[in-house]
Protein backbone atom coordinates (compact mmCIF):
# COMPACT_ATOMS: atom_id res chain seq x y z
CA UNK A 1 0.00 0.00 0.00
CA UNK A 2 1.30 3.46 -0.91
CA UNK A 3 0.58 6.60 1.07
CA UNK A 4 0.76 9.77 -0.98
CA UNK A 5 0.75 13.50 -0.42
CA UNK A 6 -0.33 15.28 -3.58
CA UNK A 7 1.75 13.54 -6.29
CA UNK A 8 4.52 12.32 -3.97
CA UNK A 9 4.72 8.84 -2.42
CA UNK A 10 5.71 9.43 1.21
CA UNK A 11 5.41 5.88 2.59
CA UNK A 12 5.07 2.32 1.41
CA UNK A 13 3.72 -0.39 3.70
CA UNK A 14 2.88 -4.05 3.22
CA UNK A 15 -0.85 -4.57 3.51
CA UNK A 16 -2.03 -6.28 6.69
CA UNK A 17 -4.83 -8.77 5.96
CA UNK A 18 -5.25 -10.08 9.51
CA UNK A 19 -8.16 -9.07 11.71
CA UNK A 20 -7.58 -6.82 14.71
CA UNK A 21 -3.93 -6.30 13.77
CA UNK A 22 -1.89 -3.17 13.39
CA UNK A 23 1.44 -2.87 11.66
CA UNK A 24 3.70 0.00 12.71
CA UNK A 25 6.86 1.39 11.24
CA UNK A 26 8.49 3.10 14.23
CA UNK A 27 10.56 5.41 12.02
CA UNK A 28 7.40 7.14 10.82
CA UNK A 29 6.50 8.16 14.38
CA UNK A 30 9.83 9.70 15.34
CA UNK A 31 9.10 13.22 14.01
CA UNK A 32 5.93 13.33 16.11
CA UNK A 33 7.69 11.99 19.20
CA UNK A 34 10.42 14.56 18.78
CA UNK A 35 7.73 17.20 19.35
CA UNK A 36 6.11 15.22 22.20
CA UNK A 37 9.02 13.32 23.81
CA UNK A 38 7.16 12.48 27.03
CA UNK A 39 4.97 10.12 24.97
CA UNK A 40 7.96 8.00 23.99
CA UNK A 41 7.71 5.42 26.82
CA UNK A 42 4.05 4.77 25.93
CA UNK A 43 4.30 4.75 22.12
CA UNK A 44 2.93 1.47 20.76
CA UNK A 45 5.10 1.48 17.61
CA UNK A 46 8.17 1.03 19.83
CA UNK A 47 6.83 -1.81 22.00
CA UNK A 48 8.37 -4.53 19.82
CA UNK A 49 11.35 -2.57 18.53
CA UNK A 50 14.51 -4.41 19.46
CA UNK A 51 17.77 -2.53 19.27
CA UNK A 52 21.19 -3.51 20.60
CA UNK A 53 21.78 -2.93 24.32
CA UNK A 54 24.03 0.08 23.68
CA UNK A 55 20.93 2.08 22.70
CA UNK A 56 19.41 1.50 26.14
CA UNK A 57 22.67 2.56 27.78
CA UNK A 58 22.80 5.71 25.65
CA UNK A 59 19.17 6.54 26.42
CA UNK A 60 19.76 6.16 30.16
CA UNK A 61 22.80 8.40 30.09
CA UNK A 62 21.11 11.03 27.93
CA UNK A 63 18.05 11.12 30.16
CA UNK A 64 20.12 11.37 33.34
CA UNK A 65 22.64 13.95 32.12
CA UNK A 66 20.72 16.20 29.71
CA UNK A 67 17.72 18.44 30.31
CA UNK A 68 16.05 17.20 27.13
CA UNK A 69 17.60 13.73 27.09
CA UNK A 70 14.58 11.89 25.71
CA UNK A 71 14.26 14.34 22.83
CA UNK A 72 17.98 14.01 22.15
CA UNK A 73 17.67 10.18 22.16
CA UNK A 74 14.77 10.36 19.72
CA UNK A 75 17.06 12.47 17.53
CA UNK A 76 19.58 9.63 17.61
CA UNK A 77 16.86 7.19 16.54
CA UNK A 78 16.01 9.53 13.67
CA UNK A 79 19.47 8.80 12.29
CA UNK A 80 17.98 5.41 11.37
CA UNK A 81 16.07 7.25 8.64
CA UNK A 82 19.31 7.64 6.70
CA UNK A 83 21.65 4.98 8.16
CA UNK A 84 21.43 1.27 8.85
CA UNK A 85 21.07 -0.21 12.33
CA UNK A 86 24.60 -1.61 12.04
CA UNK A 87 26.09 1.79 11.16
CA UNK A 88 24.23 3.55 13.96
CA UNK A 89 25.11 0.83 16.48
CA UNK A 90 28.81 1.29 15.72
CA UNK A 91 28.43 5.07 16.11
CA UNK A 92 26.55 4.72 19.43
CA UNK A 93 29.18 2.32 20.80
CA UNK A 94 31.95 4.72 19.81
CA UNK A 95 30.06 7.64 21.38
CA UNK A 96 29.61 5.71 24.63
CA UNK A 97 33.32 4.85 24.78
CA UNK A 98 34.11 8.56 24.43
CA UNK A 99 31.35 9.67 26.81
CA UNK A 100 29.50 11.58 24.10
CA UNK A 101 25.81 11.84 24.94
CA UNK A 102 24.39 14.09 22.23
CA UNK A 103 22.75 13.38 18.88
CA UNK A 104 25.24 15.51 16.98
CA UNK A 105 28.08 13.73 18.73
CA UNK A 106 26.76 10.33 17.70
CA UNK A 107 26.19 11.59 14.15
CA UNK A 108 29.82 12.59 13.78
CA UNK A 109 30.84 8.95 14.27
CA UNK A 110 28.70 7.71 11.39
CA UNK A 111 30.69 6.57 8.39
CA UNK A 112 30.15 8.77 5.39
CA UNK A 113 29.21 11.86 7.37
CA UNK A 114 31.27 14.80 6.27
CA UNK A 115 33.48 16.37 8.91
CA UNK A 116 32.02 19.69 9.96
CA UNK A 117 35.09 21.57 8.72
CA UNK A 118 34.49 20.11 5.25
CA UNK A 119 30.88 21.26 5.01
CA UNK A 120 29.93 24.46 3.28
CA UNK A 121 26.84 26.59 3.58
CA UNK A 122 24.93 26.76 0.32
CA UNK A 123 22.57 29.56 -0.64
CA UNK A 124 20.65 27.36 -3.11
CA UNK A 125 17.00 27.35 -2.07
CA UNK A 126 17.56 30.21 0.40
CA UNK A 127 16.75 33.19 -1.79
CA UNK A 128 15.71 35.30 1.19
CA UNK A 129 19.32 35.26 2.42
CA UNK A 130 20.62 36.87 -0.76
CA UNK A 131 19.11 40.17 0.41
CA UNK A 132 20.96 40.16 3.73
CA UNK A 133 23.91 42.52 3.86
CA UNK A 134 26.50 42.00 6.57
CA UNK A 135 28.84 44.88 7.19
CA UNK A 136 32.45 44.32 8.10
CA UNK A 137 33.14 44.63 11.81
CA UNK A 138 35.18 47.50 13.15
CA UNK A 139 37.08 46.58 16.31
CA UNK A 140 37.19 50.25 17.35
CA UNK A 141 33.41 50.13 17.94
CA UNK A 142 33.94 47.79 20.88
CA UNK A 143 35.89 50.44 22.77
CA UNK A 144 32.64 52.37 23.17
CA UNK A 145 31.49 49.60 25.51
CA UNK A 146 34.25 50.49 27.93
CA UNK A 147 32.76 53.93 28.51
CA UNK A 148 29.22 52.59 29.11
CA UNK A 149 29.79 50.13 31.93
CA UNK A 150 31.28 47.38 29.76
CA UNK A 151 34.40 45.37 30.54
CA UNK A 152 37.10 47.27 32.39
For residues 94 and 115, the model is more confident at 94
| Spatial distance between the Cα atoms of 65 and 56, rounded to a whole number of angstroms | 14
Element of type H or E holding 63 = helix 53-65
Average pLDDT, the chain: 85
* pLDDT confidence bin for 111, thresholds 50/70/90: confident
Residue 58 and residue 102: Cα distance in Å, rounded?
9
pLDDT of residue 119: 66
Q: Across-strand partners of 2?
A: 12
H/E run at residue 12: strand 8-12
pLDDT category, 52, cuts 50, 70, 90?
very high
Task: For residue range 73-101, list pLDDT tens digits in order.
Answer: 999 999 998 899 999 999 999 999 999 99
Residue 11: the pLDDT is 77
> Which carries the bigger pLDDT value, residue 141 or residue 42?
42
CA atoms in the 13 A half-sphere facing the CB of 107: 18
The number of beta carbons lying within 10 Å of the beta carbon of residue 102 is 16
- Name, in order, each residue with C-beta under 8 angstroms of 15's C-beta and a sequence gap of 6 or more: 1
Amino acid sequence: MEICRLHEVIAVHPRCWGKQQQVFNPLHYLPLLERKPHSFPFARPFENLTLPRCFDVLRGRMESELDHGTREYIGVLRLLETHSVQQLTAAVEKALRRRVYAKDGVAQFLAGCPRWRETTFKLAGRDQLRLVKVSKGDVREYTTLLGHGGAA
